[in-house]
Structure 1
Amino acid sequence: MNRLEFIRNEEKKYHDFCYNHFSLFEEGSWLAKPVKTVIDLMSFFEIKNNVQVLDLGCGVGRNSIPVAEKLKNSYGKVVCVDFLDSAIEKLKFYSLQYGVEHIIHAEKADIGTYFIEPHQYDFIVAISSLEHVESESVFDKVLHRIASGTKPGGIACFIINSEVQEIDRITNEYLDALMEINLLTDSVLAKLDHVFQNWKVLMELVKPLEYEITRNHRSILLTTNAITFVARKGNEK
């Protein structure tokens, strides 16, 4: 098993555990509520019908289900992409539970190779997912696909973890951060600024975060510089 396979296996175990032990919007985990920035951005589409949304790395629908609820009466669609079977299965279950199964369209795929139709989406969301593509070059390609896939006037919203560290809570030992790509914060910002240079940047924020996770019954402190980047594509003349 190579390093990429090992990391993805560990991430699968971690996410499968979360999805099986915590219900969507249940207090006590990161599934408890959607990302506020994502929900706030839906205000841009309040008077628009047939809004097309793409959620890359959707998980069980923490963001896509609240987004779909806002589109119930406007004939919108939320395409949800995730690599994990457990995520797609739970997403379908929750979409039925919350009455948005006609809006949610779940697709099992690797976001690193997922084809995005040019000028297809009003709103593309990638929350803590792009750092899980297999390489930096794939990361760059996905950014360009997102830029191409956004409609004129549409919005792209990212949260990307950078400079991630993992520390054993008992021994204080620094561990190998199990992240497919772990870029410097300045490098990620430079890439975003380059790809979206002709867009209107609505938000660019770097926030140091730390939280505890459990890997193989081991308590780990994970620290990161979380980058929030939101940009709006210019309208065609």
Structure 2
Amino acid sequence: MSSAEFEQARESEEKYHAKLYESKDILEPGSWMSEPVPIVMELLEQVLQEHQDPVVLDLGSGPGRNAIPMAQRLKESGHGRVIGTDLLDEAVSKLQDNAVKYDVQPFIQAMQADVEDGQYEAESYHYIVACGCLEHVSSKTALRDVIARLQEATKPGGIHCLSMNTEVREKQLSTGEEEAAQIELNMSESEAQALLAEVYRGWRILEDEEKEVSIQEEKYEEPTEFHANTVFFAAQKPLSTQKG
């Protein structure tokens, strides 16, 4: 993808998400934000069993589809915090509002950040969630670099939970005509799975599956249908820093 194509895709995605966050609420019917990703919450339970005061990083958190339910669960346990980051100011502001709405302010922190440029302190997080954001980096090289920084930022025994949309296709609902998919990194399912297997070599793989998804969107002038093969992947960092 050229620089111009990347900027066009980035602008399209930003406009779509800003509009979505303004018009739809998390954890309510009406959009794909109506509930958290199930595996995110399942793995949080494992994290809570292994750590009394977990620090969670939710990348591309948006208004809190996953971050708010995780903060609610931490509130129940009485310990831990979620740091939610997003590129869009609208998402950060909405996450702050939702923290108040759902009464979890002490357990959540909202920050503006671009996942591709994020810098993290070594061995700082017990759990890192990145759902639907890694496909918004500029290249496979950038994706490898991002994951390497996240791995370094993970405490021994910490868990990563990722989901990536691959093989994205978009078509107009009224005509069925294919649109040029406006996504920054549109990998094939096999490419994504091979890359993840490579960069997580030495980690304990907890999840590696794919699910076909189809969502109606109002992203362009005409309503469209979004299709993708979503890769769900989770892995646990070894307690030893040596890989074998």
TM-score past 0.5 threshold: yes
Counting only pairs closer than 5 Å after superposition, residues 82-93 of structure 1 correspond to structure 2 as: 82-93=86-97
Q: 1:54-88, CA deviations, whole angstroms, 9 ceiling, x for partnerless residues?
A: 00100001101111111124431211110001100
**Distance in 2, Cα, partners of 1:160 & 1:179:** 11
Amino acid at match of 2:142: V
Displacement of 1:4 in angstroms is 2.1
Q: 1:161-214, CA deviations, whole angstroms, 9 ceiling, x for partnerless residues?
A: 111111122222222100001011111111111111111111100112212111
Amino acid at match of 2:23: H
Runs of 4+ in structure 1 deviating by more than 6 angstroms, as ranges, are: none
Counting only pairs closer than 5 Å after superposition, residues 198-209 of structure 1 correspond to structure 2 as: 198-209=202-213
Counting only pairs closer than 5 Å after superposition, residues 1-237 of structure 1 correspond to structure 2 as: 2-47=4-49, 48-72=51-75, 73-236=77-240
Unmatched runs of 5 consecutive residues or more in structure 1: none
Displacement of 1:111 in angstroms is 0.5
Unmatched runs of 5 consecutive residues or more in structure 2: none
Kindly, what percent of the aligned residue pairs are identical? 34
Displacement of 1:45 in angstroms is 2.6
Amino acid at match of 1:45: V
**Distance in 2, Cα, partners of 1:118 & 1:3:** 34
Displacement of 1:94 in angstroms is 0.4
Amino acid at match of 1:108: Q
Contact 1:147–1:195 (CA<8 Å) still a contact in 2?
no
**Distance in 2, Cα, partners of 1:219 & 1:184:** 25
**Distance in 2, Cα, partners of 1:23 & 1:128:** 17
Displacement of 1:232 in angstroms is 0.9
The CA RMSD measured in Å over matched residues stands at 1.5
**Distance in 1, Cα, partners of 2:213 & 2:97:** 31
Q: 1:85-136, CA deviations, whole angstroms, 9 ceiling, x for partnerless residues?
A: 1100000000011111112111101110101222111000000100011222
Displacement of 1:46 in angstroms is 2.8
Contact 1:49–1:74 (CA<8 Å) still a contact in 2?
no
Displacement of 1:147 in angstroms is 1.6
Amino acid at match of 1:71: L
